[in-house]
Structure 1
Amino acid sequence: MTTAIKTFPVAISARHIHLSEEDLQALFGPNATLTKDFDLSQPGQFAAKERVSIEGPKGIIHNVRVLGPVRAATQVEVSRTDAMKLGIYPPLRQSGDIDNSAGIKLLYGERELVIPQGVIIAQAHIHMTEEDAQALAVHNNEVVAVEVVSERPVTFRGVVVRVSNDFSLEMHIDTDEANAGFIEQQAQGKLVKASL
């Protein structure tokens, strides 16, 4: 029997990078491994102590946090504001969908690495387990709308539901979305209706 879920936490995801094993070695040297700084809310995911700079045609952003563990392909997640500063045009995508996305230069000390694709603006999404999905009456990859109550209340449309028993119930938005709605970490969201 599932328990009714009225609201769920909303987390603000700042710019970050997921590195492939190959790119990790290229930037940090042979046999490099990620050093865990602290665990993230999603099981098995962590913020690493390693940081890199990302450089585009118009600008550079330093101290971009690397998240672990390593992935099959390198992915850089930025906000639209970040993209404008860098002078790049990343698409709005779900995490992992990096085909034909924007490229960027990664810098660490004297090392640099150009990735031809991998930069995206992450689409707002909700991580949840199968039990959570049943309680909320939604399914994997369903697109929903979520109301977040704050000083400037806002309803996000086009929010993707991502279901896996490896997840913990939480909605992720980027810093631009959070700033627009005066949203602080661990605000609460609730489903309002399916998005058109």
Structure 2
Amino acid sequence: MVKDSLEQMSSQLRIPIGVSNRHIHLSPEAVERLFGSKDALTPMKELSQPGQFACKETVTLIGPKGKIDRVRILGPARGETQVEISLFDGFTLGINPPIRDSGDIEGTPGITIQGPRGQLQISKGVIAASRHIHMHPSDAQRFGVNHGERVKVQIDGVRGMILDHVLIRVSEKYRLDMHIDLDEANAGHVKNGQTGVLLK
């Protein structure tokens, strides 16, 4: 009976996991500077969050020590340009990206971005995004958590692990999905579509 109850609770608290590779969000002004038009972004693939998409267009990131080609742009354009890379990518570029929540870019490093029609130097915006879970308010109610809360998530598997300090982000626009970066996924042998269990 106890085992059945625990298994039922585990299934109710499971969260799908998406592995985020390096990518960039561009402001409309940055899109125009790099591609020659503010309307240059072309949707290629829908993402887990409604209205978000991967673009056909890519850019090159140029750091003090190296560069990374074919970095995918995620659309639509947003208020400020933000570059999300892994800590390992930072070694390649010669940049030390702080681990930050998305949108928290004050005091972060800048970088040079090369597009087909121009080059842009930003003074801030490079981060390693902190692990987080997107939730609709109905999901937050079901899981018993609040926007801004930090939780732990257990991921099973041959290199199973528990991830701490996972940010809960709640919005009417969100669909349930947890995002971790490539470094974290490789450490736990985690694949897209795998699930984790929220620990309270």
Q: Which of 99, 117, 122 is the aligned partner of 1:115?
A: 122
Which amino acid is 1:141 matched to? G
Deviation at 1:5, TM superposition (A): 2.8
**What residue in structure 2 maps to residue 77 of structure 1?**
84
Deviation at 1:89, TM superposition (A): 1.3
Report the number of matched residues.
191
Q: Distance in 2 between matches of 1:88 and 1:31?
A: 28
Does structure 1 retain, via aligned residues, the 8 Å contact 2:15–2:198?
A: no
Q: Distance in 2 between matches of 1:143 and 1:110?
A: 41
**What residue in structure 1 maps to residue 68 of structure 2?**
61
**What residue in structure 2 maps to residue 162 of structure 1?**
169
Q: Distance in 1 between matches of 2:112 and 2:14?
A: 39
Q: Which of 9, 22, 26 is the aligned partner of 1:15?
A: 22
Deviation at 1:31, TM superposition (A): 4.4
Does structure 1 retain, via aligned residues, the 8 Å contact 2:161–2:188?
A: yes
- Bigger helix fraction: 2
In the TM superposition, structure 1's runs of 4+ consecutive aligned residues that sit over 4 Å from their partners are: none
Q: Distance in 2 between matches of 1:112 and 1:150?
A: 43
Q: Distance in 2 between matches of 1:136 and 1:123?
A: 20
**What residue in structure 1 maps to residue 56 of structure 2?**
49
- What is the CA deviation profile of residues 152-182 of structure 1, one whole-angstrom value per residue up to 9, with x for unaligned ones? 0010001000001100001000000000001
Which amino acid is 1:98 matched to? I
**What residue in structure 2 maps to residue 172 of structure 1?**
179
Does structure 1 retain, via aligned residues, the 8 Å contact 2:29–2:38?
A: no
- What is the CA deviation profile of residues 51-77 of structure 1, one whole-angstrom value per residue up to 9, with x for unaligned ones? 000010011000000000000000000
Work out the percentage of aligned pairs sharing the same amino acid: 47
Which amino acid is 1:29 matched to? G
Q: TM-score, normalised by structure 1?
A: 0.94
Q: Distance in 2 between matches of 1:184 and 1:30?
A: 36
The answer to whether the aligner puts 1:138 opposite 2:145 as a matched pair is: yes
Q: TM-score, normalised by structure 2?
A: 0.92
What residue ranges of structure 2 are gaps of 5+ in the alignment?
Answer: 1-10
SS class of match (2:26)? strand
Stretch moving more, 135-144 or 23-32: 23-32
User: What does 1:28-47 align with in structure 2 at a 5 Å threshold?
Assistant: 28-47=35-54
- What is the CA deviation profile of residues 34-89 of structure 1, one whole-angstrom value per residue up to 9, with x for unaligned ones? 10101111000000111000010011000000000000000000000001110001
Q: Which of 75, 81, 100 is the aligned partner of 2:107?
A: 100
Does structure 2 retain, via aligned residues, the 8 Å contact 1:149–1:187?
A: no
Q: Which of 107, 131, 156 is the aligned partner of 1:124?
A: 131
- What is the RMSD computed on CA atoms of the aligned residues? 1.4
Deviation at 1:110, TM superposition (A): 5.8
